[in-house]
Amino acid sequence: MKNRFVFFDSTPADHRYFSHHLSNYGAELVFHKEPLSEQNIQLAENANVISVHVASKISHSVLHALPHLQFIAARTTGYDNIDVEAAKKAHIVVSNVPRYGENTVAEYTFMLLLALSRKILPSIEQSKSGKIDHTILTGFDLSGKTLGVIGTGSIGQHVIRIANGFSMPVVAYDPFPNKNLENDYNLRYVSLQELFGSADIITLHAPYTGENKHLVNSQAFASMKKGAILINTSRGELVDTKALVAVLASGKLGGAGLDVVEGENLLLLDEESELLHRKNLRGFNYAVEQMMLEKMPNVIITPHNAFNSKEAIERINSTTLENISNFFKQMPTNTV
């Protein structure tokens, strides 16, 4: 029986790339636009290899239903959507793409920040309507504002480099500080509490581990400067959405740029429809919170799109191909 490789969250470009480069494996290649979940597990039936993006949820139940599965190729850096411990117990190898978009995500971070600081969306709306009122379009300079960076891995480091180009002093928090950064850039490591209290803009670049769920919570918001801006291009679970809605509604927080939110799969209409058929109170809460955020004029929400540049996708796919190839050479790479 020949191998079966099943790709989820796939695009036409993914289909073309992997069909071409995996043609000599003699495997059956299957591509699905939708993510993998417990509800559609039959799509991965008899798979030896599955490749997924962040929207797919690989739980213990999913793994148990796939007895032929040998390898999971995550086309992402983060892998909190995969039950890695259950995979290890089932002798399933998991790989990721550890570096593909430090500049890509960092640039997107500043895109969100600049859009908020210079009120780009209301400016566009006024231009389209023909009713111009510059008094409500006044923004603020980034130069001289203190940027607080939570997480100084490869993406966080690139954010720091860009911030230096804007003449922004930087404070940073990381449980494993990179002291070389303090020598190379206008950067000072501080405690998380000091960062919350001193930064004008706070940007998140930490992985989600479970232990750091709601790292930014009501207490953190209470200690922030009035008018502070929050940017999150990391993981939605790092921010307590209910607390975020409350602090934005109070007027204390100046705005938020969110490429990720808790329950972000609800941004898809079919997922919202699914809520009508399931008793999922937290899902309903997420949906209401997202609706409230979307209506706020000082909030920008995008659909987990910071990774999405041509160059980054090429790096993701080439590394994924290498991971699959090396697995079958019995020399797995980028395992987690």
Asked whether the beta carbons of 36 and 58 are under 8 A apart, the reply is: yes
- Active-site residue, from 53, 75, 205, 304: 304
Asked whether the beta carbons of 306 and 84 are under 8 A apart, the reply is: no
d(CA 133, CA 125): 11
- Active-site residue, from 4, 53, 158, 235: 235
235 in active site: yes
- Please report the sign of the dihedral spanned by the C-alpha atoms of residue 148, residue 153, residue 155, residue 158: positive
* Tokens 């959405």, residue located: 241
d(CA 160, CA 181): 9
205 in active site: no
Give residue 230's identity as a one-letter amino acid code: L
Backbone angles phi, psi at 228, to 5 degrees: -60, 155
- Active-site residue, from 102, 237, 262, 264: 264
Decide: helix, strand or coil at residue 89: helix
314 in active site: no
Share of the chain residues as helix, strand and coil, in percent rounded to the nearest 5: 45, 15, 40
Q: Which long-range contacts (CB under 8 A, 24 or more apart) does 182-185 make?
A: 185/160, 185/161
Decide: helix, strand or coil at residue 142: coil
d(CA 52, CA 308): 15
- Closest alpha carbon to 72 in 88, 257, 61, 162: 88
Burial class (CB in 10 A: 0-12, 13-18, 19+), 133: exposed
Q: What are the residue numbers of the active site?
A: 235, 264, 304
